[in-house]
Amino acid sequence: MVAIKCIGIITSGDDAPGMNSAIRSVTRSAIYNGLKVKAIYRGYKGLIDGEIVEFQTQNVSNIIQQGGTILKSSESKDFMTQEGRKKAYENMMKEEIDALVVIGGDGSLSGARIFAQEYDVPCIGIPATIDNNLCGTDTTIGYDTALNTIMQSVDKIRDTATSHERLFFVEVVGDDAGFLALNGAIASGCEAAIIPSIEIEEHMLTQFIQNGFKKKKSSSIVLVAANKQIGGAMHYADMVKTQYPELDVRISILGHLQRGGHPTAHDRIIASRMGAASIQAIMKGLRNVMVGIDNEEIVYVPFSRAIRNNKPIDRKLYEILNNISI
């Protein structure tokens, strides 16, 4: 096994609050353990284009509280090709980078997995996605911050919804998961959540509306996980408007608001833990694994398991939401 002397850090795909905390932790943990650190700007595109700079501890000063990523991020179509990955590997060798720490979501880790298989490059993944959809870890960097952003936004929406006695459909990030919508609905006292992993029939939505009439609720809010399969907030709002034209139905799409903001203490802490654990994994000779947290303990999850896209929703949480929204 080749001794690791220099590591490269990449942030790839959609940004997530806490990425900078992870960059800081990886950089300082690596230097503490005697490793050189090369920062790769703009994700895999930067690795192909050679946007690589050596980092010292001062390069990551005063970033733990910042949202986004100081390394920037992008999606690279070239990295999806063998020619692009060959160029990326050549730049790695030119910069004498022995291993990669990839901070991102399922797409980023999928890219790392392919790259590692083709060129026998040790890659360690750090899960950073607000979707919280990576398997083998209880939470991902950015999820807690996004959840708090949703809660604060819905709190504000409820003020106007109550004042005007309106029904709001609020669309949040969903993808193939519904963690933000479900837990956001519980945290902000919403009446319902519509998520991809739990089917909701039209009659169930009708029943929810009728129950609201019986109780003479002054406002109602439904969180909808944006997803091509189930449709977004507009789809369900149009459905209700057709059946209940007397209702004042409104839509709010939170969009990129959910990705920004200062990371919460929780996200800063797990990012710091995962960053340090990624360097420990490299020092131990591990490769092609994602750092995760399971029951508050650091775990190392093979890429093949982490990116399955079948992380289960706790259906008991859905039952709790239904019970307390009566």
170 with 78, same domain: the answer is: no
Residue 163 burial class via C-beta count within 10 angstroms: exposed 0-12, middle 13-18, buried 19 and up? exposed
191 located within any domain: yes
Residues 18 and 66 in one domain: yes
Reported as a single tens digit per residue, the pLDDT across 194-231 is 988 777 655 566 676 666 655 666 678 999 998 877 67
Confirm whether 102 is domain-assigned: yes
Q: Which residues pair with 8 in a beta bridge?
A: 38, 100
Looking at the structure, do residues 106 and 229 belong to the same domain, yes or no?
no
Among residues 98, 106, 131, 175, which one is catalytic? 131
Give pLDDT, residue 214: 54
Residue 170's CATH number = 3.40.50.460
The residue behind tokens 């019986």 is 214
**Residues 233 and 272 placed together within one structural domain of the fold:** no
Q: How many separate domains does the chain show?
A: 2
User: Could you confirm whether 49 is annotated as catalytic?
Assistant: no
> Is 194 inside any structural domain?
yes
Which regions in the chain score pLDDT beneath 70?
Answer: 1, 200-206, 208-218, 230
> Does residue 285 lie within any of the structural domains?
yes
Asked whether residue 131 is domain-assigned, the answer is yes
H/E element, 202: helix 202-215
Q: Kindly state whether residues 17 and 137 are assigned to the same domain.
A: yes
- Do 49 and 94 touch, CB atoms closer than 8 A? no
CA proximity to 105, closest of 173, 30, 29 = 173
- Angle at CA 75, nearest 5°, toward 72 and 78? 120
Residue among 78, 276, 40, 259 nearest 153 (CA): 259
Domain membership of residue 64 (yes or no) is yes
Which residue in 274, 305, 278 sits closest to 141, CA to CA? Answer: 274
Predicted pLDDT at 262: 98
Is there a domain that residue 317 lies in?
no
Residues 14 and 120 in one domain: yes
Q: What one-letter code names the amino acid at 212? A: G
Verify that 235 and 288 share a domain, yes or no: no
In terms of residue numbers, what domain contains 22? 6-142+263-306
Task: Identify whether residues 166 and 43 lie together within a single domain.
Answer: no
> The CATH number of the domain where 66 resides is what?
3.40.50.450
- Give residue 201's pLDDT: 55
Does residue 321 sit within a domain? no
Strand, coil or helix: 133 = coil
Judgement on whether residues 149 and 295 belong to the same structural domain of the protein? no
Same domain (yes/no): 137, 23: yes
Cα–Cα dist 177/227, whole Å: 9
Regarding whether 219 and 121 lie in a shared domain, the answer is: no
212 and 268 inside one domain: no
Single-letter residue type at 298:
I
The predicted structure's pLDDT at residue 176: 75
